[in-house]
Amino acid sequence: MAKNNAEPKKGSILISEPFMLDPNFKRAVVLLCRHNKEEGSLGYVLNKPLDITLNQVMGNFPEFDTEVYFGGPVGTDTLHYIHTYGDLEEAEPITDGLFWGGNFEALNWWAETGKISPDNIRFFVGYSGWESGQLQGEMKLGSWVVSDMKAEYLLNEDWDNLWKTSLEDMGDAKGVIGQIDDGITWS
């Protein structure tokens, strides 16, 4: 895979190289919610829905018609959320119009009263994490391409094509990923 020169940062996405063998990250698009030298990097895989609902994970959460996604292989006993609700207390901004976490009791109440919509929030079991310097090492090996996050990536229901779409949105996708012989048609 051709290396790009973009540096990972909070709010960018990591797009896995086309032949990555790790099943956790095969054809993955990861949104970085934290990236710094001291703490390392943390993000969520955006395109791996699980075959469970939020109410199966959190039985005490109000009835809320939404799926849950595999955020990554770390902390798979934890639940995380990314959303468009900047006024949720304790929510951390990620990038324009996207926020991470926030007060869970307030979120629970918002769901109960209908203040939030499943269309504007995504829940993740686990997360993707890299120790300080680890992601940079993987970048040097060409495992990831860095690009800008677009809000529609989070809210898009076309998860099967998100990997391809995010590469195409970079511009010359063929130049970024090189030759791919697995049947992907580039328009």
User: How many independent structural domains does the chain possess?
Assistant: 1
**How far is the C-alpha of 136 from the C-alpha of 132, rounded, in Å?**
8
The answer as to whether 183 is a domain residue is no
Give pTM, 2 decimals.
0.87
The answer as to whether 3 is a domain residue is no
Range of the domain at 26: 12-177
The answer as to whether 45 is a domain residue is yes
The answer as to whether 142 is a domain residue is yes
**How far is the C-alpha of 45 from the C-alpha of 26, rounded, in Å?**
10
Residue 43: pLDDT above 70? Answer: yes
What is the per-residue pLDDT across 113-139, written as a single tens digit (0 to 9) for each?
999 999 899 999 999 999 999 999 999
**How far is the C-alpha of 92 from the C-alpha of 9, rounded, in Å?**
15
The answer as to whether 149 is a domain residue is yes
* Confidence band of 158 (pLDDT split at 50, 70, 90): confident
Write out the two tokens for 123.
């829940």
**How far is the C-alpha of 169 from the C-alpha of 86, rounded, in Å?**
26
What is the per-residue pLDDT across 53-89, written as a single tens digit (0 to 9) for each?
998 999 889 988 888 999 999 999 999 999 999 999 9
The answer as to whether 129 is a domain residue is yes
Whole-number pLDDT of residue 40: 95
The answer as to whether 84 is a domain residue is yes
**CATH classification at residue 116:** 3.40.1740.10
The answer as to whether 182 is a domain residue is no
Whole-number pLDDT of residue 144: 95
